[in-house]
Amino acid sequence: MPRPKNKKAIPVGDLVKGLIQKLDSEKDISEDELLKVWEGAVGKKASLHSKPVALSRKDLKIKVESSSWIQELTLNKRQILKKLQSHFGRDKIKDLKFKVYG
């Protein structure tokens, strides 16, 4: 298949280097540190009913005990995100995704 015009070939080494940097940037946050900061960001009571479980493509996925807790956390999402970003950096966490479990 011919290459589209005006598109330069990118060396494989550069592609691999970029991919490794992207993956490393998402792994800089330890689970223990995230859980400690999460409690500070949402408060003790809310942290008992929610737990961050994964960081994927800068979206922090949070398991939440019930839809009422999702509503509570969603209402405070901006403040929670600001607290997390101030600790970890704006480039590490871009959004929060809540999901009911259990």
According to the model, what pLDDT value does residue 71 have? 98
Domain that holds residue 81: 30-100
Asked if the structure places residue 15 within a domain, the reply is: no
For 8-19, what is each residue's pLDDT tens digit? 777 776 666 666
Give the CATH number of the domain where residue 34 resides: 3.30.300.180
Asked if the structure places residue 12 within a domain, the reply is: no
Judge whether residue 23 has pLDDT over 60: no
Asked if the structure places residue 41 within a domain, the reply is: yes
Residues whose CB falls within 8 Å of the CB of residue 101, separated by 6 or more in sequence, listed in order: 63, 64, 65
Asked if the structure places residue 14 within a domain, the reply is: no
Task: Give the mean model confidence (pLDDT) for residues 45-74.
Answer: 96
Asked if the structure places residue 23 within a domain, the reply is: no
The pLDDT mean for the chain works out to 86
Task: Give the mean model confidence (pLDDT) for residues 79-83.
Answer: 98
Asked if the structure places residue 65 within a domain, the reply is: yes
* Bridge-based pairing state of the strands 59-64 and 50-56: antiparallel
pTM higher than the cut 0.75? no
DSSP 8-state class, residue 84: H
According to the model, what pLDDT value does residue 101 have? 87
Task: Give the mean model confidence (pLDDT) for residues 57-65.
Answer: 95
Distance CA 68, CA 9 (A): 51
Task: Give the mean model confidence (pLDDT) for residues 69-78.
Answer: 98
Find the helix packing angle between 77-88 and 67-75, rounded to 10°. 70
Number of folded domains in the chain?
A: 1
Asked if the structure places residue 67 within a domain, the reply is: yes
Asked if the structure places residue 77 within a domain, the reply is: yes
Instruction: Please count the CA atoms within 13 angstroms of the CA of 36 that sit on its side-chain side.
Output: 7
